Chain A
Amino acid sequence: DTAVSQTPKYLVTQMGNDKSIKCEQNLGHDTMYWYKQDSKKFLKIMFSYNNKELIINETVPNRFSPKSPDKAHLNLHINSLELGDSAVYFCASSQRAGGEREQFFGPGTRLTVL
């Protein structure tokens, strides 16, 4: 069983479109995250939810909107896609927020905006 799964794995779309990425974890964790990894492999936190409550919201454009319908799911919706949004987006989860708990990462969604 995949611990943290993401769909789709690849996403190719035109500038200006709206797209969503879905994430699910079956680890029973309370906390989920979205990260962006750019072409230079820099990894940056975007959002974090703990028990469906937003606890980390980095300086991300308003075009990005996370939604957590329940503890096991965290989706990312992106409006009006731009060229600079092209990146690999990783979902992750941890048993709880903060502390010594390690994070478990999904396989990533490679977004290409044309």
Chain B
Amino acid sequence: AQSVAQPEDQVNVAEGNPLTVKCTYSVSGNPYLFWYVQYPNRGLQFLLKYITGDNLVKGSYGFEAEFNKSQTSFHLKKPSALVSDSALYFCAVRVYFGNEKLTFGTGTRLTIIP
């Protein structure tokens, strides 16, 4: 079985400050890890993914995420938050082999305070 935990329902960050949205995962085997963003009344948009190799992955809109195998984490980060980053963020995992299902976390609402 595979699962994803996003321990924070809500994260508030002042504009210009660094932000982190946390994600931990559990899979039997090696994972593919993804971050998606959902703006109000919109579908999910892909931000970035970890496949293999470099643990630091860079994605859209200046976001990056760090894969940590020992801590089974894949936290999303950005050095300087923008008000336009305010949205709902989902972490997702899929195991390398077997079931093709993508399992999503419960989402973290990120609010950037001007």
Q: Give residues in A with beta carbon < 8 Å to B.
A: 4, 31, 40-45, 48, 50, 55-56, 58, 90, 92, 97-100, 102-108
Known A90-B44, A108-B42; contact A103-B102, beta-carbon cutoff 8 A: yes
Q: Is there contact, CB below 8 Å, between A41 and B42?
A: no
Docked pose: A31 CA to B102 CA in angstroms: 13
Known A90-B43, A105-B44, A106-B43; contact A55-B100, beta-carbon cutoff 8 A: yes
Question: How far, in Å, is B52 (CB) from chain A's closest CB?
Answer: 8
For the complex, is B104 an interface residue (Cβ under 8 Å from A)? yes
Q: Is there contact, CB below 8 Å, between A43 and B107?
A: yes
Of all chain B residues, which has the CB nearest A107? B43
Known A4-B43, A105-B43; contact A42-B106, beta-carbon cutoff 8 A: yes
Docked pose: A49 CA to B38 CA in angstroms: 24
Q: Is there contact, CB below 8 Å, between A104 and B46?
A: yes
Complex A-B, nearest 8 residue pairs according to Cβ-Cβ distance, in ascending order: A98-B100, A105-B43, A102-B46, A105-B44, A97-B100, A100-B51, A43-B104, A107-B43
The size of the chain B interface, using a CB distance under 8 A, is 22
A-B pairs with beta carbons under 8 Å apart, 24 shown? A31-B100, A41-B88, A41-B106, A41-B107, A43-B104, A44-B104, A45-B102, A48-B100, A48-B101, A56-B100, A56-B101, A92-B43, A92-B44, A98-B94, A99-B94, A99-B100, A100-B51, A103-B46, A103-B102, A104-B46, A105-B43, A107-B42, A107-B43, A108-B41
Q: Is there contact, CB below 8 Å, between B44 and A45?
A: no
Q: Is there contact, CB below 8 Å, between B101 and A45?
A: yes
Q: Give residues in B with beta carbon < 8 Å to A.
A: 32, 34, 36, 38, 41-46, 49, 51, 88, 90, 94, 99-102, 104, 106-107
Chain A residues whose CB sits within 8 angstroms of the CB of B90 once the complex forms: 43
Of all chain A residues, which has the CB nearest B109? A41
Question: How far, in Å, is A74 (CB) from chain B's closest CB?
Answer: 15
Question: How far, in Å, is A106 (CB) from chain B's closest CB?
Answer: 5
Chain A residues whose CB sits within 8 angstroms of the CB of B45 once the complex forms: 105
Chain A residues whose CB sits within 8 angstroms of the CB of B100 once the complex forms: 31, 48, 50, 55-56, 97-99
Chain B residues whose CB sits within 8 angstroms of the CB of A56 once the complex forms: 99-101
